[in-house]
Structure formats: structure tokens, C-alpha cells
Structure 1
Amino acid sequence: MATALEKPTVTVESAPAPPPRKGFRAYWHLYAAISPFYLLFICFGLVPVGFSLYLSFHRWDGLGPMEWAGLSQYQYLLGDSDFWSSIGNTIVIWALATFPMIFLAMVTAVLLNSAVRFKNAYRFAYFLPNVTSVVAIAIIFGSVFSTNFGLVNALLQAVGLDQVAWLNTPWGIKVAVATLMTWQWTGYNAIIFLAGLQTIPGELYEAARMDGAGPVQTFFRITLPMMRPVLLFVLVISTVTGLQSFSEPQVLLQNTSNDSTFSGGPGHAGRTMVLYFFQQTFDNNDFGYGAAVAWGIFLVVVLFSIINWRLVQRRGED
């Protein structure tokens, strides 16, 4: 007689117990190694930012007691025609400097990428303006754009054109400041573009040449789409730095007006947002309103950075 099959027994091994958690004491030396950065960031970064926000709701001359002002500083800021004028000056100078700079940086990077000899020498030469003192650059450009003895006017006269008072007319001031910024940042962004170009596989270019694509088609069909993340990075960084321009117009135009060191030249044509912030804070000793202006600048920079990011991303999706 057959016996009933017995149900096999399955032994389930218990999972190993998780290792005991180590507390802060076990890793204190690692936290101590990275703590200087965070302590310095808190002291010189986070605390000043928080204090500036607190200060923007007060009236303070830097010495006396603070007086609560609430939102009145921001209400006045929204109706301040000088602040809006500084925004307009900043945007025009940024546009005149950024778009030619990106074009020249891309062209320079393509040429450097195709160069065979003296690559390192070319890279050093193009990057040198970025590590040169802005004050020294502005002094040199002040001589270049001088009305009577400037190099630019000398070239204009050589071809039979009239002189231009570059540092005494609204558009001349903007062009001079934008040219200085373009010259300063073209080499820096060219190096970034060059790093991006060197990550593109060479097989793509070889396949394009076999299909009969020319240099222009290769650039717009392969190089530019592959460089879109790098282009986005350069555009956002250029927006942040360009909208916060201070040293270039301040040094270049400091001797062109008797109004103030931070006036931005005749007619305030070169007064950027940051120059206006310094004028309100240190010329007028209105630290509370200066803090409100600083936060207004922050919002403008964030808004333009988001717009640029969205435009580049939308073109990438298309």
C-alpha cells in the first residue's frame, strides 16, 4: 500500500541582523575635516544674506539705531525711476556684451580645437584677460576709448569718420563697457566651449564627412546640438555675471562725472544695478534701502536666468 507523500519541509534562514548604527562619535573626525567650509559659509555667506533681508525692512544709516520700515522700502523701490533706469542700462550692456562674446567664444573654441601646433600657447593667451585685474583692464580701455587721444577714434579718423565721445554719450558709454566685458570673458568661455568640443566623438564627424556634409552643416547638425548643455551653462553664467557688472563701469567712468563715483558717467548712462546699490548704500548712507535694492537685483538676476534656461531648453526639445 502506497504511503501518502509527505509535504517537504522548507527551512528559511533568518536574514542577518543589520549592523549596529554608528553614531556621531564614530565619524566626528570626518565632520571635523569638512567643518571649516561650512563654518566659513555660515559666517560670511548665510548670516550676511539673512541680515541683509532683515535690514531691508528697516531704515538705518549705519551708525544710529534701526527704525522699522516694513514693506515701505520695497514699495518705494517699485516706483523708483532711477532703479528701473539702472535695470535698463544693465540689460542693454549685458545684451551688447553677452551675445557677441558667446559668438566669438564659440568661434575661438572651434579654431583652437582644430589647431595642431601651439595649442597650449593659444589657450593661455585667450584665457589671460580673465585673470588680469579688472581695474587695469578698465584703465587701458579708458585710454582706448578716449575722445581726443583714443585708439578707436584714431582709427575712425584714419578712415575719414568723425570722432565719437565714447565716454560722454549714452550709447558710447554702453558700447565701451560692453566691449570691455566682451574682451574680458571671451577667452574664459572659449576654454569652456573647447572642453565641450573635445567630448564630442570623432566618429560623428567622420560619418558626416562620408555622407557629404560640409563644415557649416556639420556645425549646425552635430556640433551645436551636442554643445547645448555647455551653451546653457555659459549663457546662465554670463547672465549672472553680466547683470551684476560693477567694476567695469565704475572704474571706466569714475572720472567722467562730478556727481558721484557710482553715478555711471554723464546722464547715468552706465549706472548698472549694482552701481545703483553702492550709490544708495555708501554715498547716501541708506543701508536699509540699499539692502532692498540688493534683493531687487537678486530677483532680476533669477528671473533672467530662468528665462534663458527655458529658451535654451525649449529649442533643445524642438
Structure 2
Amino acid sequence: MSTRLEGTPAGAAEDPAAPAGGHHRHNRARLVRRERLSRWDLRLSPYLYISPFFILFGLVGLYPLIYTGYLSLYDWDRFYYQRGEFVGLENYRFVLGDPVFIKSLVNTFSIFLMSSVPQVVIAVTVAALLDNRLRGRTFWRMSVLLPFVVAPTAAVLIFGSLFADQYGVVNSALESLGLEPVRWHVDRWWSHLAIAGMVNWRWTGYNALIFLAAMQAVPRDLYESAALDGAGRVRQFFSVTLPMIRPTMIFVIVTSTIGGLQIFTEPRLFDDTPQREGGPDHQYMTSTLYIYVKGIEDQFYGRASAAAWVLFLIIVGIALLNFAITRFLTRRSA
């Protein structure tokens, strides 16, 4: 007896399977598309997430750097703000042969060594002290950041009263002890020391908090094991703490090097002469201050751009040297 309904064409028993198979193939195609989108999402998402930084860096960092290199190859009309003739490396030859620029480089390295080296040592020491269980440790940890919050102008005013040649607090203390006052704004190396003191006062607490965060991440089991082996607090600091925070130290050293070689605000505001060009004899003019004077005040854009590129190459070279030395010491100690 046939079960086919009247009016149903022959072969209709196989028709319900056809739509089901088509629906299955459609779902399978959708799954394949989703898998492909998922794979592309995994590949492209990280680049999309970090792309805003690189776009902004290209606009405000890379493009000005390339354009500065372009400016350094031309002689610019400082009265009409127009590009002059192509001079090639003539601006670089002038800058490297300028005694004022060479003096500014020496001043920059002098202030950098007086500020960055003690700054890192003091910051590590302060971080190690703050890593202990102190009463009100949150207050002490926040207080070391206060100099960084203070505006550079206010900091210069404070240190200006300390290191003034005639009425400064430091000179008053020296005179009360029967010592000769120091001419902070005249003597070259004393002015470097005063400016380095301003830089250290402002940035030591900031770096100390970075070191403190790294010390907080060191497993406490290592200190307990070292204590069981008979190591004291000083031995634990040199054998456990410093090796464990070495990556952070590399970061701070590199950033301090870059910032120390670009110092501008402190010597600019420390100068009490009307010209503000790093003293009457340029005794504390830094390289960035030289670039500012040549480009903004004297309007020699080509020479200022050449000096900026020379300083940029020096900073890159020293940063790479620091990185290579720290990597070598890290591998040797490992």
C-alpha cells in the first residue's frame, strides 16, 4: 500500500532532505567565515590597539625629526622665513666648528653626570628604605613625589634663593662658617652643581617610585631563603634586590640619559642675565639651550636644525651604548 499522499509528486519523499542539506551547508559556510574573521582578528587586533600611539608619534615625533633634518640642509632667510639655497652639510660643519656649541656639549655632559648618576643611586636607596614596613608608609611614598609635582618655575625660584650670589641661603651659611661665598652664576662648575641639584631634587622621587614598584614585585620567598642562609639586609639588597630589578634599572638609566642630555628648563630659568643664554660666558649653556638660541632668538633655522640632529645622534649613540653595557653585565652575571 502506497503511503504517498494524493497530489504529491513522485520523488517528494527525498525533497525534505534537500533543504536540510542546503541549510547545513549554509551554516558550515558561516562557521568558516567566522573562523577566518577570528583568525584575522587575532592577527590584526594587537596592531590596531597600538596604532594610535604610532600614529601620534609619527605626527608629533617622527615627522618633526625628519623635517628638522630637511631644514638642516638649507640656508634659511631669517627675515622673510623662506627657504634659501641648498648648502648640504655646511650647517653641520659650522655647528661642529662653533666653540660655543662645543662648550654647550661639555656643559651638557657635566650637568648630566652630576645629576643622573647620583640620581639613580639615591633613588634606589630611597626605594629600598620605602620598601620596609614603615608607619604611615603611604604618606612617605607619596611625599617623595611632591618635588616632581612642583612646577619647574617654582623649583627654580626656590633654588634661586638658595644659590643666589649675593643673598643666597647657601652663601649665608658659608659666610657664617667663615668660608668664602660661591659665585654660583659665574663659576662654571659651581653653576653646574647648582643646576644638577635642581634636577636631582625634582626627579629623584619619581625614579624612586619606579624602583619601589619593581621591588614590590620581588617574591618575598627569596628574602626568606636568603635570611635562612644567614644573609643580612645589606647582603639581601645586593644579592637579591638589585639582580631582580635589573630590567627596571636599565629602563631608568636609559630614560635618565635621554632626559639628562636634553636639559633645558633649569639652565634657562637659572640664568639671571637679560639674554638668558646660559650665563655671560655661556658657562652653563646646554645643547638644547644652544638650539633654542640659534633657532628662536637668532633665527638661524638651518644651524639650529643641524645642532638638533647632532644632539639626537649623540643621544641615540649613548642610549645604545648604555643598553649594550647593561645587557653585557646582565648576561655575565647570569
Instruction: Return closer, same or farther for 1:65/1:310 CA change in 2, 3 Å cut-off.
Output: closer
From 92, 109, 116, the counterpart of 1:91: 109
Q: Which residue of 2 aligns with 1:52?
A: 68
Residues 167 and 176 in structure 1, CA contact (< 8 A), matched pair in contact too: no
Instruction: Return closer, same or farther for 1:310/1:46 CA change in 2, 3 Å cut-off.
Output: closer
Tell me if 1:119 matches 2:133: no
What is the TM-score when the length of structure 2 is the normalising length?
Answer: 0.81
Tell me if 1:219 matches 2:237: yes
Q: Which residue of 1 aligns with 2:99?
A: 81
Give me the whole-angstrom Cα distance separating, in 2, the residues matched to 1:99 and 1:212. 32
Q: Secondary structure at the match of 1:291?
A: helix
Aligned ranges 1:165-184 → 2 under 5 Å: 165-184=183-202
Tell me if 1:299 matches 2:317: no
Give me the whole-angstrom Cα distance separating, in 2, the residues matched to 1:44 and 1:106. 33
From 157, 166, 169, the counterpart of 1:151: 169
What is the TM-score when the length of structure 1 is the normalising length?
Answer: 0.85
- Letter aligned with residue 313 of structure 2: L
Which 10-residue stretch deviates more, 308-317 or 237-246? 308-317
Query: How many Å apart are 1:47 and its aligned residue?
Result: 2.8
Query: How many Å apart are 1:112 and its aligned residue?
Result: 0.7
Q: Secondary structure at the match of 2:278?
A: coil
CA RMSD of aligned residues (A): 2.5
Give me the whole-angstrom Cα distance separating, in 2, the residues matched to 1:182 and 1:82. 26
Query: How many Å apart are 1:38 and its aligned residue?
Result: 5.7
1:2-36 deviations in whole A, cap 9, x for unaligned? xxxxxxxxxxxxxx9994456xxx9xxx9999876
1:104-141 deviations in whole A, cap 9, x for unaligned? 11111011110332122112211111121111111211
Instruction: Return closer, same or farther for 1:40/1:234 CA change in 2, 3 Å cut-off.
Output: closer
Residues 291 and 307 in structure 2, CA contact (< 8 A), matched pair in contact too: yes
Query: How many Å apart are 1:76 and its aligned residue?
Result: 2.2
Aligned ranges 1:169-318 → 2 under 5 Å: 169-253=187-271, 255=272, 257-258=273-274, 260-261=275-276, 263-318=277-332
Instruction: Return closer, same or farther for 1:42/1:299 CA change in 2, 3 Å cut-off.
Output: closer
Instruction: Return closer, same or farther for 1:140/1:61 CA change in 2, 3 Å cut-off.
Output: farther
Q: Which residue of 2 aligns with 1:132?
A: 150
Aligned pairs, how many?
Answer: 295
Structure 1 gaps of 5+ residues are 1-15
Give me the whole-angstrom Cα distance separating, in 2, the residues matched to 1:36 and 1:240. 23
Query: How many Å apart are 1:195 and its aligned residue?
Result: 0.4
Instruction: Return closer, same or farther for 1:314/1:79 CA change in 2, 3 Å cut-off.
Output: same
Residues 277 and 290 in structure 1, CA contact (< 8 A), matched pair in contact too: yes
Q: Which residue of 2 aligns with 1:13?
A: none
Structure 2 gaps of 5+ residues are 1-27
| Deviation beyond 6 Å, 4+ runs, structure 1 | 30-36
Give me the whole-angstrom Cα distance separating, in 2, the residues matched to 1:97 and 1:34. 34
Give me the whole-angstrom Cα distance separating, in 1, the residues matched to 2:176 and 2:240. 43
Give me the whole-angstrom Cα distance separating, in 1, the residues matched to 2:290 and 2:102. 10
Instruction: Return closer, same or farther for 1:234/1:42 CA change in 2, 3 Å cut-off.
Output: closer
Query: How many Å apart are 1:82 and its aligned residue?
Result: 1.8
Query: How many Å apart are 1:308 and its aligned residue?
Result: 1.6
Q: Which has the larger radius of gyration?
A: 2
User: Taking every aligned residue pair, what percent have the same amino acid on both sides?
Assistant: 38
